[in-house]
């Protein structure tokens, strides 16, 4: 299965965005981003904590000092099981959730140092497509209004009512919808069409960066293929950059240039798509790849990895994966492995790499 290549940067397939990723300027950079959640405390318990009468509430580390760079024009796939923090990461980048600590950089500048107008533009140029097209569209608005609202508010549409309508038509057509249907409401569309409406809405404010959070997970295979093709067409037409969040390795492998694997709030491996799928380093990545079903004509025996994702409320010590890892040794229990380069453009967080 492995194809030996010395040149790690060689493009695996055709497509403009796939070459020379290292020289492309970073669009978004996450440096040491953490995000914790805890129960909201009332006045009494806050007072109790101040007086050392009550222990502070348990914290869930949804993101634990995550570093990730998304370069202009590339598609970064973010993979992990449910509860690993991948959606939280997407929301932090989209600005829906503020990080608890760490700094976001947009076009090389720290978000906190940007002026109000610049920050506004950073947020507007970053849009999100959600998993559930039933919940993410306003059921009481016609499609034309869903798509037109944001660009109107942000002054993107120049001109009157006629200009607005032709702008909406163009957005719908680009997402593969018939503009004649723009007077309808969300419930009158099928799942695939609804996802197209979500995409048209996101693209209506002319973003350069799209965060797709499980955007095809709820769709049937044949519809999923239509939407994936649409994402790839739009990327070429509009020079879009994507953060593609998914639990489906097949989908991520298909669309991504670079892939980051998350486990319990930490990125455990990050590399070019070919490196992850052909030269995976981290035991968790290897386990995921082994378990992922792909079309085969032979029956196969499943030899499952043990255990399940530990609770983020009470994570294991050291490397979070060590209780499930077949190679775990003393150091894995004691010390957190750092994400570091193991080859050109290939990062992994595993102590095994120090053992030679």
Partner 1 sequence: MSQALLQVEQLSTAFPAINGAVRVVDGVSFSVDRGMILGLVGESGSGKSMTGFSIIGLVEKPGRIDAGRILFDGVDLTTLSPEEMRRLRGRRIAMIFQDPMMTLNPVLRIETQMVEALRAHRSISRQEARRLSRDALGEVGIPSPDERLAAYPHQFSGGMRQRVAIAIALLHRPDLIIADEPTTALDVTIQGQILAAVQKLAAEYNTALIWISHDLAVVSHIADNVAVMYAGRIVEHGTVAEVVHSPRHPYTAGLLGSIPSRNRRGARLAQIPGSMPSPHSLPVGCSFRPRCARADRQCEQMPAMIPSGAESLHTYRCFNPLSQKTQ
Name the β-bridge partners of 127: 210
Q: In the stretch 292-331, what mask flags binding to partner 1 with x, by CB under 8 A?
A: xxxxxxxxxxxxxx--xx----------------------
Site residues for partner 1, 6-45, by CB under 8 A, read: 12-15, 18
- Residue from 153, 237, 250, 338 touching partner 1 (CB under 8 A): that is 250
Name the β-bridge partners of 346: 271, 343
- Residue from 20, 178, 239, 291 touching partner 1 (CB under 8 A): that is 291
Give φ, ψ of 175 to 5 degrees: -85, 5
Residue 165 beta carbon to partner 1: minimum distance, rounded to whole angstroms: 27
- d(CA 69, CA 30) in angstroms, rounded, equals 6
Q: How far is CA 43 from CA 46, 56, 58, 100, 191, in A?
A: 5, 13, 17, 22, 45
Burial string for 224-240 (b: 16+ CB within 10 Å, else e) reads bebbbebbbebbeeeeb
Choices 23-31, 144-152, 165-173, 226-234 (CB under 8 A): range interacting with partner 1: 226-234
Kindly state the number of chain residues that form the binding site for partner 1, as judged by CB under 8 A.
49
Decide: is 180 part of the binding site for partner 1 (CB under 8 A): no
Residue 315 beta carbon to partner 1: minimum distance, rounded to whole angstroms: 15
Decide: is 286 part of the binding site for partner 1 (CB under 8 A): no
Site residues for partner 1, 71-110, by CB under 8 A, read: 81-82
Decide: is 288 part of the binding site for partner 1 (CB under 8 A): yes
Any residues with CB less than 8 A from the CB of 283 and at least 6 apart, and which? 321, 325, 326, 327, 350, 352
Number of other CB atoms surrounding residue 121 within 10 Å: 15
Q: Which of 131, 107, 129, 130 is nearest to 119 (CA)?
A: 107
Choices 131-139, 159-167, 220-228, 344-352 (CB under 8 A): range interacting with partner 1: 220-228
- d(CA 241, CA 73) in angstroms, rounded, equals 4
Q: Give me 182's structure tokens.
A: 């723009």
- Residue from 107, 254, 331, 346 touching partner 1 (CB under 8 A): that is 254
- If the CB atoms of residues 224 and 241 are measured against partner 1, the closer one turns out to be 224
Number of other CB atoms surrounding residue 216 within 10 Å: 25
Choices 62-70, 135-143, 225-233, 330-338 (CB under 8 A): range interacting with partner 1: 225-233
- Residue from 85, 99, 192, 318 touching partner 1 (CB under 8 A): that is 192
3-state secondary structure of 259: strand
Binding site for partner 1 (CB under 8 A): 12-15, 18, 81-82, 190, 192, 220-226, 228-229, 232, 247, 249-251, 253-255, 273-274, 277, 287-288, 290-305, 308-309
């Amino acid at each position: 299965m492995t194809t030996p290549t010395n040149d790690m940067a060689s493009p695996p397939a055709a497509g403009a965005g796939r070459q020379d990723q290292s020289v492309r300027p970073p669009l978004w950079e996450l440096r040491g981003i953490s995000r914790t959640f805890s129960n909201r405390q009332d006045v009494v318990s806050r007072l109790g904590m101040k007086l050392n009468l009550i222990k502070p509430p348990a914290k869930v580390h949804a993101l634990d000092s995550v570093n990730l760079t998304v370069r202009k024009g590339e598609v970064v796939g973010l993979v992990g099981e449910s509860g690993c923090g991948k959606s939280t990461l997407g929301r932090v980048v989209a600005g829906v959730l503020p990080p608890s600590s760490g700094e976001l950089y947009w076009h090389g500048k720290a978000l906190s140092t940007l002026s109000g107008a610049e920050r506004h533009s950073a947020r507007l140029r970053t849009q999100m497509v959600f998993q559930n097209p039933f919940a993410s569209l306003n059921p009481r608005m016609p499609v034309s209004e869903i798509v037109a609202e944001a660009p109107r508010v942000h002054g993107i549409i120049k001109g009157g009512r006629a200009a607005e309508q032709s702008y909406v038509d163009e957005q719908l057509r680009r997402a593969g919808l018939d503009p004649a249907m723009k007077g309808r409401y969300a419930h009158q569309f099928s799942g695939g069409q609804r996802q197209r409406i979500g995409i048209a809405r996101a693209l209506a404010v002319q973003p350069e960066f799209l965060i797709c959070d499980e955007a095809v997970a709820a769709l049937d295979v044949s519809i999923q293929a239509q939407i994936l093709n649409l994402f790839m067409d739009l990327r070429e037409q509009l020079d879009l950059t994507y953060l593609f969040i998914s639990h489906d390795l097949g989908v991520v492998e298909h669309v991504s240039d670079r892939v980051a694997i998350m486990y319990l709030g930490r990125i455990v491996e990050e590399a070019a798509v070919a490196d992850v799928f052909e030269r995976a380093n981290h035991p968790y990545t290897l386990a995921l790849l082994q378990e992922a079903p792909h079309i085969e004509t032979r029956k196969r025996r499943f030899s499952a990895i043990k255990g399940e994702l530990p609770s983020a409320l009470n994570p294991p010590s050291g490397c979070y994966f060590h209780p499930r890892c077949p190679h775990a040794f003393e150091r894995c229990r004691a010390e957190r492995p750092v994400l570091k380069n193991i080859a050109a453009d290939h990062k992994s967080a595993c102590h095994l790499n120090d053992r030679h």
